[in-house]
Structure 1
Amino acid sequence: MVRMASDQGERKKNEPGSHIARLTMMREPIKITRSLGNGVELGQRIIDFLEVEWYETTKSRIRKKTMGGIDVLVDKADRTTFQNGDLLFVSEEQAIILKIKPCDCIVLRPTNLISVGIICFEIGNKHIPIFMTEQKEVCVAYDANLFVMLDSAGFQPCIQERILFPFQMTKAFGNKSMR
C-alpha cells in the first residue's frame, strides 16, 4: 500500500515527531542531482510529489516545495530532461516523484501532411515548442495570439487542459558534429 504525503490520517503534518515534520524542519533542502528512474517499486514508502510546469523539466536549477511541504533543490550537472513520474529522492520512509502540472494547450488535429507543415511553420516562427501526441495531434502551450492566427487560418484549434510531456516535444536543433 502506498501512502501519500498529504494523507497523514490522525497524525498532523507538522506534529512533532512525524516524518514530514522532521523533513520540513531541515534547514537545508533535499538536493536532487538526477533522476533515480521511472516506474520504480516503492513498497510502503510515503509518496510525495514535486509538481513542476512543463518548461521546468529542462531547467538545471529549481528550488521548490513538494506537495507535502518538503523543501527541494534540483541542481542538475547536465541538461537532461526530467520526465513525468521520475523518482527524484528515496529514503527508507519517503519517496519524492516528479509530477508535471497540466496546462491550457492549443490542440490541433491536422488532416494531411501539408497542414502539418503549415501549422509547424507558423508555430515555429513564434519559437514555441511543439508537442506531437500518439493520436497525431499537434499541441502547444496556450498563446492567445497564436490561437487567433490558427483559427483565422481555418485549422480549427481547440483549447484543452493537457500535460505536455517532454518526450513528445519536437526539436529542430541539436544536431551534433561527428568529431
Structure 2
Amino acid sequence: MIIEQIVTSLEDVHPETRLSRHLEKVYLQSDDLLKRVQRVVTDHGRELGISLLQPANLSHGDVLFMDDHNLIVVEVVPEDVLIIRPRSIGEMGDIAHKLGNRHLPAQFEEDRMLVQYDYLVEDLLKHSGIPYTQEKLKVKQPFKPIGHSHG
C-alpha cells in the first residue's frame, strides 16, 4: 500500500469511529517525520510506502489510512530531550544565544525550551546554572535541522 497524503489527525476522528476500527500504528523517530518518502512497517507487520504528494511533515497522531475497518496512525517514539526552563528573559537570551551558536534546533512550548539530548549541552546548562530536566518525550513536531551560512 502506498500512502500519498495524510487523511486527518487522530484527534479529529470521532471517538466512536476510533473504537469501531482496528488500530495499527507506525512507530517513527522524530527525524523520520521530515521524510516525504519512506518505507515503514506497522506494529501488525503491514508494509507501507509513504510518498507524500504535497510537501508536508508527518506529525504524531496523523492518520495515514482509514476505511470502514482499519485505522493506521503515526506514533512518535519518545526521545531523550533536555527541557530548559529559564527563570528570566535574560537567562532565555543567554542560553538561546549559546545554543544558536551551535546551530542546535529547538522547540518552544509555553515557558520551556526543548532540545534533543546532548551531553555537551547538558554540561553547558549545568555550568550556566540554568534550570533543566532530562526526559523521554514524544515531540509533537520534528527537530528541524537549521541551515546556516557565515558568509
Q: How far has the Cα of 1:66 moved from its partner?
A: 0.9
The structure showing larger relative contact order (alpha-carbon pairs under 8 Å, at least 6 residues apart) is: 2
Structure-2 residue corresponding to 1:46: 22
CA displacement, residues 36-58 of structure 1 (integer Å, 9 cap, x when unaligned): 11122335110011111112212
Q: Is the aligned partner of 1:128 residue 2:101?
A: no
Q: Which amino acid aligns with 1:139?
A: L
Q: Relative to total residues, which structure has the larger strand share, 1 or 2?
A: 2
Classify 1:66/1:164 alpha carbon distance in 2 versus 1 (closer, same or farther; 3 Å): same
Which residue of 135, 139, 143 corresponds with 1:164? 139
Q: Which amino acid aligns with 2:7?
A: L
Which residue of 116, 119, 122 corresponds with 1:141? 116
Identical amino acids, percent of aligned pairs: 20
Bigger Cα Rg = 1
Contact 1:61 1:73 in 2 (8 A): yes
Structure-2 residue corresponding to 1:177: none
Q: Which amino acid aligns with 1:115?
A: E
RMSD over aligned Cα atoms? 2.2
CA displacement, residues 104-139 of structure 1 (integer Å, 9 cap, x when unaligned): 1111111111211222222222222211113x1111
Q: TM-score, normalised by structure 1?
A: 0.71
Which residue of 62, 70, 88 corresponds with 1:86? 62
Q: Is the aligned partner of 1:119 residue 2:116?
A: no
Q: Which amino acid aligns with 2:13?
A: V
Q: How far has the Cα of 1:75 moved from its partner?
A: 0.9
Q: Is the aligned partner of 1:106 residue 2:117?
A: no
- Give the distance between the partners of 2:145 and 2:89, measured in 1 at CA: 18
User: 4+ residue stretches of structure 1 with deviation over 6 A?
Assistant: 169-173
Where does the alignment leave 5 or more consecutive residues of structure 1 unmatched? 1-29, 174-179
Where does the alignment leave 5 or more consecutive residues of structure 2 unmatched? none
CA displacement, residues 19-48 of structure 1 (integer Å, 9 cap, x when unaligned): xxxxxxxxxxx2112211112233511001
Structure-2 residue corresponding to 1:23: none
- Give the distance between the partners of 1:96 and 1:171, measured in 2 at CA: 28
The correspondence of residues 56-75 of structure 1 with structure 2, limited to 5 A, is 56-75=32-51
SS of the aligned residue for 2:8 comes to coil
Q: How far has the Cα of 1:78 moved from its partner?
A: 3.4
CA displacement, residues 76-103 of structure 1 (integer Å, 9 cap, x when unaligned): 1333122211111112221101111111
